Amino acid sequence: MNFPFLIYPILATLISGEGQFLNRDTVWQYNNKQQQYFLENYFQKKSELKKFNKNELKSWASQDYLSLNKIAKENGFSNEFKQLAKNEVGMLSICEFEQTWIQKESKEYLLCDEKYYEAIKIDSNFEILKSDFHRHLFVKIITGSGDKVYLTFAEKKPNNNDFDFLKNIEYLSKLKKEKYIKKDYDCLLIPKIDFNKEFNINWINGISANGFTVKQYLQKVKLKFDIIHKREIFNEMSKLVNKLNPFESSAGNEFRFDAPFYLWIERNGCSSPIFAAYIDETNWVAYKSFLDIVNEKIDL
């Protein structure tokens, strides 16, 4: 199971292989149904890789497993490449996205299953969308880079078919464009996310071209949603109010993501989401205890 499921890093590694020991006219041959679906539906999107900067997407392809292991170790991978036979190729990619929001120097929180998690308050550049074909609302957040982040509560945890998950996200992406709701919410509260995981992409193993076969592919995915504290001067009265009412919110109506959700990122010039994932509390930044929140509020 691979959630998130990212198409563009896989494209980048195959193109990297073409540039090193194959050629630009390479015709990849599939070895299973998932590879066939990938080649028929996504490989033509390789021209969209120019929309990524070098810090977001890095890829390597080599027949030297020792050099790949050196790169993997330098980048914090726990898995290693096994020795490669003649005409076998190892592939490695790192995909990293980070988004920050400016927030007052006080911590927000979300409660999920009796645990407290750090939250990000967003009070601008978002929209609430809905569809007649999906029971939950969609949230659209426009970032400073122009990327659009979409979130909607998940009906259930995805099954173990990667492409079924991606097709579901693409389906939801079409639904959220149907209706726009007047902004009935003053702000969003979304959990701080610190997602850093590595995966063996087993379904791509066996894909081949010009006598070369992909034997092993390791992928690391990083997603971080964080805040930058903005210092503000509070007078003595506001300090006193915060001490007496540490959880009083200035927002009138909050939209809170306090349960597992789907998250995907869309970018101009890319016809598929550049990131798509099922995000639950295992990827949220947790407080150690309830007292951490109280102390943070009172210390203002």
User: pLDDT, tens digit, for every residue of 24-41?
Assistant: 667 899 999 999 999 999
Up-side HSE of residue 34: CA atoms within 13 Å toward CB?
17
Measured between alpha carbons, how far is 286 from 288 in angstroms, rounded to an integer? 6
Residue 187 has pLDDT above 70, yes or no: yes
Measured between alpha carbons, how far is 56 from 114 in angstroms, rounded to an integer? 35
Residue 283: partners with Cβ closer than 8 Å, 6 or more residues away? 193, 194, 195, 223
The pLDDT assigned to 19 comes to 72
Residue 67 has pLDDT above 80, yes or no: yes
The pLDDT assigned to 29 comes to 94
Average pLDDT, the chain: 83
Q: Averaged over 202-229, what is the pLDDT?
A: 91
Neighbours of 180 (CB within 10 A): 13
Helix or strand holding residue 23 (H, E): none
pLDDT band of residue 57 (cuts 50, 70, 90) is: very high
Residue 239 has pLDDT above 70, yes or no: no
Q: Averaged over 228-233, what is the pLDDT?
A: 56
Residue 267 has pLDDT above 80, yes or no: yes
Residue 233 has pLDDT above 80, yes or no: no
Residue 176 has pLDDT above 80, yes or no: no
Six token digits for residue 237: 């009265």
Residue 46 has pLDDT above 70, yes or no: yes
Residue 228 has pLDDT above 70, yes or no: yes
**8-298: which CATH number, 3.40.640.10, 2.60.120.20, 2.40.160.40, 2.30.39.10?**
2.30.39.10
Domain ranges in the chain are 8-298
